[in-house]
Amino acid sequence: MEILLAWAAYLTLGVAWLVFGWSWIASRLPRPARLAILWFLAGVSLVALAVSAQVPHDYRPTDLTELGRAGAALFIELMVAVSGGTAALVALGRRSADAAGLRAVGTYLAGVGLVLYWMLDGEASLQAPCLLLVGTAMGAAAAYRLARLPRYLSVAAGLASGLLVMLAAETLRNLRLNSHGSSPGAAPRYVLLLAGIEATILLLGAALLARRRGRALAGPVRRAGLGLAGTGLVLVLRGPGEWLPHANAGSTTLYGLPLTLLVVAVGLGIAGWPAGARRPWDWRPAGSGQRYALVMVPLVVLPLLLAGLVVLWHPAPDRCSVEQYAQTSPLTPAGPAWASSPDPASPRGAPDVAAFDRVCPYRTAGPAQLAYAIYPTCKWAPVDANYPLVQASGILREIDVSPADSPWLHTSHDVEFDMAVDPASTWLVLGGGGPGALLHVEAETGPFPAAYRPVAGERVTVAGRWIFDCGHDGFTEIHPAAVVASERDEWRTELQGSPQQVRVLRVWMNNAPGFVDVPAAPFDTQVALSTSAMDPGATPIVRVVAGSPAAVRWRIEGTGSGTRVAVHLAPPAQSGSAYFELLLGYRDGPPPPGSLVSYTVTFDRLAVRDDLRDQARDTARAMMGGIPVDLIDPQLGLPGTGHWYMDAIVDHAWRSILADAPVESGGSYSLAAVPPVQALAPGDEDLLLAITGYAENDPSDGVQLASGRVDGGPLLEWEAGRPADLCGAGEQTFTPPHGAWTLSYHVSCADPPHA
């Protein structure tokens, strides 16, 4: 992602210089020559688009000819869009006829944006809000200028109007998406009030403007209406997947650029219509026939090119972009099931690098890698159709929160963990790797509550989709994880009323763990009882302390040190979630070997000394692949948003400290809403704390709160001391070496419960 953004920065800088040059020369050219150049560029772009539609353009880096053809088409289209927009801004306010034309173009662009909102029915897109923003801003700015406001005030007010309208539309769209098709009337009152005020102001303004400038606006607005009707017809006939790629799109569509090109071309036609001419043939300028042809030929050719685009635009899609994730395996057609080992009917070994390269062909930087930022089935490609859903067990080595994830393929950032798998699970690791091989696992933080997450050192069993992560160097993953089960020994009183060491099994199940859903499947695991708490002849017992007991079945297997409990959990409803906590121990287990301390850790405040917004600029340095970073000033980068995500780990428990919280340097923030952590432990054990999280900077790398750097460590751990010594000692503080923040907390103790 960083490489793609870097190349986008290079291209933007180059285009900016060309735009500045065009802005300077455009005002010095005669109107017919200026129009002829713009129409020529639009025509060339449409021709390039129609031609490329007839050639499979999968952007494979090994096909340099196809890659160059695609790059040329992209560059030409971008030049037309940027140059046309710049020319419109330069023309604003020069003549009332120009302002009237731009008012009509703004109406057309905003109308196309609304058509897209209607077509997509709540689906997120980039084109719809951008068109609505640009169209409303352009139309409003031109209207203010027609009302004789100063030019700079017109531009500022137009941009403000565009932002307000776009934000209201996005709020309503998000509501419809999250409420599964609810009508806009179900929106919160403040949203409806804002939309009503905006609509009233726009309608009143349009009425007043029509009254004062009706004659100048009648022709351009009529042409905008005709253009909107034609564009809307093209959009509806081609379908949403043709213009706005998503998981179910039927083609690659150059990632929405055909729609951008179409609206630019029609917008140029509306804005460039000769003043006073009602029909194309009414305009007969004085001068040579060549001048007449320069303007009239594009007016004839453009409809033909648009018609050809509608008929011919059937590109060959990337195979991965049209694939769907399997819900069941051919080996288990009766329903979804987790595969913990290869089936004898379809034996297989661990995947190798050659298999990864076949599934993930875009290994070099280039436009092809955009597929990894848009299509989940391209980014997270299934390893084996016979084993779409797998299960692995091992010891958790590392766990933290990712500071950077593609916002187009995530609803929240990922929890990442690496587990050293058991020998029985090495078949899931790229190349096998033998015992202790690391398997990477990811699940999004949004639907994965912090309190349910495991801690490094625990035994874990994970189930989810088995994929190649094509956006990174070759390795396999379980992603997303739909089941995360962890085991650890704790001192608890719930089993028999007195402190007893038990094995605690925590299981989080979620069939909608993020951007990609996972089918609901029963979960089975085996848990070994703690041998340190066993007396000869003791009777194993199991108690469900969280979750529905009706969804849990267990069976005691073996005796003595080999005693195990086979646990079966029924899945939650599709797109649902469930959390279970089971205590496994022995009846009349042995008493604690020494004194126990019952303590509570309460978080008080977080003082922010540096909000790390400027540190986020270092992302610009990290992105500049191919350019020596010594030549790049960090201040050229963009600052972060100032929003922090921070999680704390206290001994065996996670807590969410901040979640998308705006912070500022010098601020102090209460943590009274963070649930305290209660624990029962031997008095000679140290209290361990850790912090993970990031200062947001999407879509680039965020700044690690643990290290205060973009490329620093993701987890910061420290020993706070023995709880018995911390009890009643007042406020405790911790400041990391980078000094960006200080965490305040206190520890309180109570007498441990007795039987």
Q: If you search the block for the tokens 């109308």, which residue do you land on?
A: 111
Spatial distance between the Cα atoms of 604 and 219, rounded to a whole number of angstroms:
65
Q: Are 409 and 513 in contact (CB under 8 A)?
A: no
Both tokens of 274, joined, read: 């000769």
Q: What is the pLDDT of residues 317-344, one digit of tens each?
A: 566 766 788 888 988 888 899 999 998 8
Q: Are 545 and 581 in contact (CB under 8 A)?
A: yes
For residue 314, name the pLDDT band (cuts at 50, 70, 90). very low
Spatial distance between the Cα atoms of 714 and 647, rounded to a whole number of angstroms:
11
- Beta bridge pairs of residue 24: none
Span 421-439, average pLDDT:
88
Maximum mean pLDDT: which of 83-97, 414-428, 532-546:
414-428
Q: Which helix (H) or strand (E) holds 567?
A: strand 564-569
Between strands 476-492 and 438-444, the pairing is parallel
CA 682, distance to chain mean position in Å, is 43
Q: What is the pLDDT of residues 572-624, one digit of tens each?
A: 988 789 999 999 988 876 677 668 888 999 999 999 999 888 777 655 444 33
Both tokens of 486, joined, read: 């962890």
Predicted pLDDT at 303: 54
For residue 365, name the pLDDT band (cuts at 50, 70, 90). low
CA 500, distance to chain mean position in Å, is 44
Spatial distance between the Cα atoms of 695 and 702, rounded to a whole number of angstroms:
5
Q: What is the pLDDT of residues 493-526, one digit of tens each?
A: 888 778 888 999 999 999 989 888 899 899 999 9
Both tokens of 386, joined, read: 């016979």
Q: What is the pLDDT of residues 695-715, one digit of tens each?
A: 887 666 788 999 988 878 899
Which carries the bigger pLDDT value, residue 640 or residue 161? 161
Give the 3-state secondary structure of 300-369: HHHHHHHHHHHHHCCCCCCHHHHCCCCCCCCCCCCCCCCECCCCCCCCCCCCCHHHHHHHCCCCCCCHHH
Q: Is the pLDDT of residue 689 over 70?
A: yes
Between strands 564-569 and 500-510, the pairing is unpaired
Give me the domains of the chain, ranges plus CATH numbers. Answer: 2-11+33-317 (no CATH), 353-586 (no CATH), 596-750 (2.60.40.150)
Which carries the bigger pLDDT value, residue 570 or residue 685? 570
Span 259-275, average pLDDT:
64
Q: Is the pLDDT of residue 222 over 80?
A: no
How high does pLDDT run on average in the chain?
Answer: 74
Q: What is the pLDDT of residues 127-179, one digit of tens each?
A: 677 777 777 777 777 777 777 777 777 777 777 777 778 777 877 776 665 55
Share of the chain above pLDDT 70, in %: 62
Span 635-651, average pLDDT:
76
**Three-class DSSP category at 95:** coil
The pTM of this model reads 0.62
Sequence-distant (≥ 6) Cβ neighbours of residue 424 within 8 angstroms? 340, 341, 393
